[in-house]
A and B are shown apart, each in its own frame.
Chain A
Amino acid sequence: MGLFDYFRAPPSKSAALAKERLQIIVAHERGGRRSSPDYLPALKKELLEVVRKYVPIDQSQVKVHLDREGGYEILELNITLPDEEQRSGQPR
């Protein structure tokens, strides 16, 4: 802060902007953490492996969804099995 600083434009107060941006991104990322816990991808992968022992399916046919309502958590699994003829000849 020298003599000439007195004639410059006032400082930008960039810290306020930083705080606002952080509050938004941190809230967003915390929300993401809550709605999809870390174990979901692993759970999906293992489920896929188990089902595949019996029925040939691929990644896109397993849907895992977690919802929160009040004090409850609802884990929704949706596995789409292939048509009967595609399955014939597969080991049971």
Chain B
Amino acid sequence: MATVIVVTSGKGGVGKTTTSASFATGLAQRGYRTAVIDFDVGLRNLDLIMGCERRVVYDFVNVINNEANLNQALIRDKRVENLYILPASQTRDKEALTKEGVERVLNELKQTFEYVVCDSPAGIERGALMALYFADEALVVTNPEVSSVRDSDRILGILASRSRRAEQGESPVKEHLVLTRYAPERANRGDMLTVQDVLEILGIPLLGVIPESPAVLQSSNAGVPVILEGGSDAGAAYGDLVDRFLGKDLPHRFMEGQKKGFLQRLFGGS
């Protein structure tokens, strides 16, 4: 049975699309047939991050409205086998996402895919609610910063009350914390919430810590999910995250930061 995973956060700009792209790519790299859907109707960006923006012909809303079939709209990734992208519509608004339509498309995807990753838009409006409604599991993407943590807590409340699993009284959506843009040195200095602080406040299990890294911007510039930059810290952190999701027991790297030498501390440079 296929698993539907929503990547959500409430707050914008915390790394939902970056995480969706790398998470889906990582699952496919490990041999699982994976589809990733952009729910941000009107403001699509997953196509850019995945580097397939020039290959979009039909989109999610076309499929919902029966203007195209799923096979016409799904874009096959050119780098990784088993990976398909369903882009959002750029010209419609989020009201085009009907519950019945989304359910039909997800059910069809579940026939052929093992994992369906739903990249949620920011906010708690229709697009975000539709992205999380059918989820079995949720990656809650959070920055170590007050507004992001508060919004994540709000999203956890919505997952617990307004998802299909909640409404139908099934076992709850399984929640995972993904802490992104983490700067261990700043946390050690007391200038940034630590991993432990955020875990204490949100109270959900930690799936991965992604360090603040220039590789994230560089790879988005190039349209390559950062997980494919295996030599980078953020890429390696996403790799670990995917392995952990699939059941491997790996220690968390990138939580401590590098020790600086005496001269480096004296003369600066990060």
Contact = CB atoms under 8 A, between A and B. Distances in A.
Tell me if chain B binds chain A: yes
A13 B194 CA distance: 12
Interface stretch (A26-34, A57-65, A71-79): A26-34
Chain B interface size range: 20 to 34
A34 to B, nearest CB: 9
Interface string B160-184: 0110000000000000000000000
A1 interface: yes
Given A21-B146, A33-B157, A15 B266 contact: no
Contact of B193 (A3, A19, A26): A19
Contacts of B189: 11
A3 B263 CA distance: 10
A22 interface: yes
A19 B145 CA distance: 9
A25 B163 CA distance: 24
Given A2-B268, A22-B146, A38-B162, A15 B154 contact: no
B250 interface: no
A11 B161 contact: no
A25 B150 contact: yes
A90 interface: no
Contact of A29 (B153, B161, B197, B267): B153
B190 A14 contact: yes
A70 interface: no
B191 interface: yes
Given A3-B266, A22-B149, A33-B157, A15 B201 contact: no
A86 interface: no
| Main secondary structure on B side of the interface with A | helix
A33 B158 CA distance: 10
B153 A26 contact: yes
A89 interface: no
Q: Is the interface of A mostly helix, strand, loop or mixed?
A: helix
Interface in A29-47: 29-30, 33, 37-38
Contact of B191 (A11, A23, A25, A30): A11
Nearest to B260: A1
B146 A18 contact: yes
Contact of A3 (B162, B187, B267): B267
Interface in B133-155: 145-146, 149-150, 153-154
Nearest to A33: B157
B192 interface: yes
A16 interface: yes
Contact of A19 (B150, B197, B267): B197
Interface of B: 145-146, 149-150, 153-154, 157, 161-162, 187, 189-194, 197, 200-201, 260, 265-268
Given A22-B193, A33-B161, 20 more contacts: A2-B268, A3-B266, A11-B190, A11-B191, A12-B191, A13-B190, A14-B191, A15-B187, A15-B197, A16-B190, A18-B146, A18-B197, A19-B193, A22-B146, A22-B149, A26-B201, A29-B150, A29-B157, A30-B153, A30-B157
Top 6 A-B residue pairs of the complex, sorted by shortest distance between their CB atoms? A2-B268, A13-B190, A19-B197, A26-B153, A33-B157, A15-B190
Interface of A: 1-3, 5, 11-16, 18-19, 21-23, 25-26, 29-30, 33, 37-38
16 contacts: A1-B260, A15-B190, A15-B191, A15-B193, A15-B197, A16-B190, A18-B146, A18-B197, A21-B146, A22-B193, A23-B201, A26-B201, A29-B153, A37-B161, A38-B161, A38-B162
